[in-house]
Amino acid sequence: MQKKQNKLIKQHIQQQQQQQQQQQQQQKERERKQKQQQQQQQQQHDEYDDDEQQQQQQQQQQQQQQQQQQQQEEEEEEEEEEEEEDEATHQQQQQQQQQQQQQQQQQQQQQQQENEETTTLNKTNRNNRDIHKNSSNSNTTSISSISRYSSSSSSSSSSRLQQTRLEAKATRQLQQQQQQQQQEQQQQQQQQEQQQQQQQQLLLQQLQQPLLLWQSEGLRVYTRFTSLTQQQQQQQQQQQQQQQQQQQQFAWIDSTVISRAAVVLAAGLCLAAAAAI
């Protein structure tokens, strides 16, 4: 039983080590992806100052990347939860099987002890009966020898009973020790699972921090883009107003020039008419 328990403990430790290695690899991959995204974001920040179309495309790419990251994280979390549930159910099944086997062994041992005790009692009773039958037909000398034999047999049977009782006590003590060891192992497993859950929560918190920074950076870029677009719109409006003012000024100049030319022509015609007269 102890060998089996040691094997199960080793298997559980190996599974935990594999899970930790997988988590470390996943964390490294996430850090690498985050670095790539940060580099892409920096490139996108530099390109925002050059062209509005590039800014729009980069925003779309960022949104797509966010969605992809969220989907990947959700899928990874679901896979981890499924693996944990499968492991928990597997462990529970193994524990139940072990408990059933131990209970069956205990029952078999108790039955064997009871059978041995009953057989010894039956043997002693038979011996005593045979002795009493023989004593009625024998003489006084045989009676004394038989009494001695019965006393010796009764003493041997009592010693056997004591031995069986001591063996039963020893087996019960061993069973109690095994149960205590199992309880301690279960407590250790629960503590290890709690530690794993705490580590996973810390990892999630650490992963959420760069996401929040990335979101704040995206908001900053969006506000900058909107401010630039507003400035461009204001500049366009000012240019349109200036063009309208210039057109109005040109129209006023044209009207004044035409009116003055008409006056000059009228004056010239008057002078020509006077000269003709």
pLDDT single digits (tens) 162-177: 777 777 777 788 878 8
Q: Is the per-residue pLDDT at 138 higher than 70?
A: no
Q: What is the pLDDT of residue 204?
A: 76
Tokens 């037909």 — which residue? 137
Q: How far apart are CA 196 and CA 202, in angstroms?
A: 10
Q: How far apart are CA 264 and CA 270, in angstroms?
A: 10
Q: How far apart are CA 176 and CA 182, in angstroms?
A: 10
pTM comes to: 0.25
List pLDDT tens digits, range 200-231.
788 777 766 766 666 677 777 778 778 888 88
Q: How many other C-beta atoms lie within 10 A of the C-beta of residue 91?
A: 17
List pLDDT tens digits, range 150-207.
455 555 556 666 777 777 777 788 878 888 888 888 888 888 888 888 887 887 777 6
**In 3D, which of 75, 91, 72, 131 has the Cα closest to residue 8?**
91
Q: What is the pLDDT of residue 149?
A: 47
Q: What is the pLDDT of residue 9?
A: 66
Q: Is the per-residue pLDDT at 139 higher than 60?
A: no
Tokens 């029952």 — which residue? 107
- Name the DSSP letter for residue 50: T
Q: How far apart are CA 256 and CA 44, in angstroms?
A: 55
**In 3D, which of 170, 160, 161 has the Cα closest to residue 109?**
170
Q: What is the pLDDT of residue 88?
A: 75
List pLDDT tens digits, range 41-98.
777 666 655 666 666 777 788 788 888 888 888 888 888 887 777 777 777 777 777 8
- Mean pLDDT value across residues 8-33: 78
Q: Rounded mean pLDDT of the chain?
A: 73
CB 224 within 8 A of CB 68: no
- Mean pLDDT value across residues 242-259: 74
Computed from CA positions of residues 145, 149, 152, 155, in that sequence, does the dihedral angle turn out positive or negative? negative
**In 3D, which of 194, 182, 154, 188 has the Cα closest to residue 97?**
182
Q: Is the per-residue pLDDT at 7 higher than 80?
A: no
Q: What angle do CA 246, 249, 251 make, to 5 degrees?
A: 110
Name every residue whose Cβ is closer than 8 Å to that of residue 175 and which is 6 or more positions away in sequence: 102, 106
Q: Is the per-residue pLDDT at 135 higher than 80?
A: no
Q: Is the per-residue pLDDT at 265 higher than 80?
A: no
Q: Is the per-residue pLDDT at 244 higher than 80?
A: yes
Strands (E), 134-186: none
Q: How far apart are CA 184 and CA 100, in angstroms?
A: 18
Each residue of 134-166: b (16+ CB within 10 Å) or e?
ebeeeeeeeeeebeeebeeeeeebeebeeebee
**In 3D, which of 23, 15, 53, 73 has the Cα closest to residue 214?**
73
Residue spans of the domains in the chain: they are 57-276
The amino acid at 160: R
Tokens of 75: 């899928």
The amino acid at 213: L
Q: What is the pLDDT of residue 146?
A: 45
Q: Is the per-residue pLDDT at 234 higher than 80?
A: yes
